[in-house]
């Protein structure tokens, strides 16, 4: 069964002047932050990476807020209403290990090499062909994902507030364009910190009131276990190899496909998140950025999973032909049922903030990659810094307009979550293959980066569009197909990289300093900033603490 991207036509919130006032105040604050951030934008580095000046707590919150888009709010709640507690896998095994790996292992290479983007690292490690291909693929992916967030925002506004779809898309796009164009990445990041707390203020009342309605966790568990079976309320029940479950995946494809390939592929190479860490004030802050973000990420699952479960309990036929409500209606339905005016305004604002954060993260990363990795290196070389700053603002406008176009394109896809996971398997997983082999194997040749990236991307697409969509192999769901496509893309990219490396020349050892594990650069050995050497700020303590805490969270849901 698939999750439609539209909300029920009759779902309307009883908003009044108080709710609209809260929404208007929020948008004014967003634009105010953009105007304030504009004063600090003097150079292209200020515009694209905030001058590498932000503290770790700011970049850490922005890192997690940048991910709080359509997939996180509507998508994960819908996932929970459809698949139950299996949703925890997207967090505790699909996110936390990869975020810790990014902070402890990969950020020293990214930040120490002083690159301005993820594709630029491939230019240093491999060659121009790998760099150009990765830049183009990333730019395409960023616009497609920004469009998904914009479309999700628009359908929520249309269904809940009654605005026409095209008006919602254009108005939301205009606000994101305004504050990014004004203040660059600093504006996006400080707005994301604000949006993080607004999102929490929206989700916490929904979660608490929903649980109270169904008799607490015990009442919720009893109701859903009776309706769907005991495995619905466990993380690993029914995932044995050969077992049948709604997710269409077993423990091996969950661990390898979601946990390793998709999870590591997304979190370690997706520049929309990595860009926040690159804007940190020093290497220690950059390493701590994803580690700080990991702790709220562990617990956010409860704020999106529980509303989905509550909706499934209150509307037993949700998502089926016997109900007017679709899975994506879970959170809006609870808002309609439980929230009074004022609180309702905060909740609507939180939803809009979530989608704007997701779109802004991708647009701000798009303008950086297009300007620094494509335009400045292959089209207009050697121009002044002022020129690239102006061009960065111009390409931001173009990026938002393109996102509006892809927002309408997203209407042709039936599942927000599945659509995004498909994009990740096509674009992020092959890039992760190239990064991980390039960082840990000195023998990986100059040419292997391009061919590995191309092979991984093509293999993932062939698996999805031909083997799965044409029914060559029967896979029960889009999610299961995405896990398999990710594994296929990873294996194909790795095999081709190794094969090409064996027949082509590696890069001279002197040119690999600071780019391959076991080598060091001056940037990697910088001394911690004042106060960064405190024991509670040690990256290793933060990272392993997050992993242990995530593993411990599985225990209550394993039986």
pLDDT class for 417, splitting at 50, 70, 90? low
What is the spatial distance between Cα 382 and Cα 105, in angstroms, rounded to a whole number? 33
What is the spatial distance between Cα 463 and Cα 177, in angstroms, rounded to a whole number? 36
Whole-angstrom CA distances from 341 to 204, 346, 544 are 16, 9, 43
Question: Percentage of the chain surpassing pLDDT 70?
Answer: 86
Residue 346 pLDDT > 90: no
Residue-wise pLDDT for 141-191, tens only, equals 888 888 887 877 776 777 666 777 778 778 777 877 776 676 666 667 777
Mean of pLDDT values over 267-293:
87
SS3 286: helix
Cβ–Cβ contacts within 10 Å for residue 511, how many? 13
DSSP state, residue 379: I
Residue 69 pLDDT > 80: no
Assess contact for 268 and 73: CB atoms under 8 A.
no
Q: What pLDDT does residue 473 have?
A: 65
Residue-wise pLDDT for 377-389, tens only, equals 999 988 888 898 8
Assess contact for 252 and 415: CB atoms under 8 A.
no
Map out the domains of the chain with their CATH numbers.
Answer: 17-415+531-557 (1.20.1730.10)
Residue-wise pLDDT for 33-48, tens only, equals 777 766 766 766 666 6
Mean of pLDDT values over 197-214:
90
Contacts of 284 (CB under 8 A, 6+ apart): 56, 528, 529, 532, 533, 537, 539
Q: What pLDDT does residue 206 have?
A: 92
Q: What pLDDT does residue 217 have?
A: 94
pLDDT class for 8, splitting at 50, 70, 90? low
pLDDT class for 1, splitting at 50, 70, 90? very low
Mean of pLDDT values over 496-512:
92
Question: Percentage of the chain surpassing pLDDT 90?
Answer: 28
pLDDT class for 472, splitting at 50, 70, 90? low
């Amino acid at each position: 069964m698939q999750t439609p991207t539209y909300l029920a036509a009759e779902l309307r919130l009883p908003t009044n002047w108080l709710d609209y006032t809260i929404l208007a105040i929020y948008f004014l604050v967003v634009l105010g932050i953009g105007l304030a951030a504009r004063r600090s934008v003097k150079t292209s580095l200020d515009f694209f990476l905030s001058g590498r000046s932000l503290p770790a707590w700011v970049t850490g919150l922005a890192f997690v807020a940048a991910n709080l888009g359509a997939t996180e709010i509507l998508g994960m709640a819908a996932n929970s209403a459809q698949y139950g507690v299996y949703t925890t896998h997207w967090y505790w095994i699909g996110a936390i290990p990869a975020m810790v790996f990014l902070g402890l292992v990969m950020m020293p290479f990214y930040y120490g090499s002083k690159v301005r983007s993820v594709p630029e690292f491939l230019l240093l490690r491999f060659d121009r062909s790998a760099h150009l291909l990765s830049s183009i693929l990333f730019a395409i992916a960023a616009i497609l994902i920004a469009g998904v967030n914009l479309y999700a925002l628009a359908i929520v506004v249309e269904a809940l507030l009654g605005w026409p779809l095209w008006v919602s898309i254009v108005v939301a796009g205009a606000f994101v364009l305004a504050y990014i164009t004004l203040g660059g990445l600093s504006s996006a990041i400080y707005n994301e910190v604000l949006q993080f707390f607004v999102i929490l203020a929206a989700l916490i009342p929904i979660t608490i009131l929903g649980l109270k309605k169904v008799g607490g966790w015990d009442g919720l568990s009893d109701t859903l276990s009776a309706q769907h079976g005991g495995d619905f309320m466990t993380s690993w029940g029914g995932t044995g190899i050969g077992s049948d479950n709604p997710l269409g995946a077993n423990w091996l494809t969950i661990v390898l496909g979601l946990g390793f390939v998709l999870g590591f592929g997304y979190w370690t190479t997706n520049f929309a998140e990595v860009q926040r860490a690159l804007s940190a004030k020093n290497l220690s802050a950059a390493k701590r950025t994803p580690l700080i973000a990991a702790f709220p990420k562990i617990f956010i699952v409860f704020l999106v999973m529980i509303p989905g479960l509550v909706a499934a309990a209150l509307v037993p036929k949700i998502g089926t032909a016997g109900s007017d409500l679709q899975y994506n209606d879970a959170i809006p339905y609870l808002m309609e049922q439980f929230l009074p005016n004022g609180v309702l305004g905060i909740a609507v604002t939180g939803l809009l903030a979530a989608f704007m954060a997701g779109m802004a993260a991708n647009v701000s990363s798009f303008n950086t990659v297009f300007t620094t990795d494509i335009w400045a290196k292959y089209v207009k070389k050697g121009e002044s810094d002022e020129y690239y700053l102006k061009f960065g603002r111009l390409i931001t406008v173009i990026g938002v307009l393109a996102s509006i176009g892809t927002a309408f394109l997203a209407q042709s896809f039936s599942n927000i979550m599945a659509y995004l996971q498909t994009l990740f398997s096509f674009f992020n997983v092959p890039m992760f293959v190239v990064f991980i082999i390039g960082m840990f194997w000195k023998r990986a040749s100059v040419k292997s980066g391009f061919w590995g990236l191309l092979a991984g991307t093509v293999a993932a697409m062939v698996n999805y569009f031909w083997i799965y969509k044409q029914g060559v192999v029967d896979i029960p769901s889009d999610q299961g197909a995405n896990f398999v496509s990710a594994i296929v893309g990873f294996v194909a990219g790795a095999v081709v990289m190794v094969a090409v490396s064996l027949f082509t020349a590696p890069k001279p050892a002197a040119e690999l300093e600071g780019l391959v594990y076991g080598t060091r650069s001056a940037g990697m050995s910088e001394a911690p900033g004042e106060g960064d050497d405190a024991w509670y700020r040690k990256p290793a303590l933060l990272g392993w603490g997050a992993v242990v805490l995530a593993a411990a969270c599985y225990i209550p849901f394993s039986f």
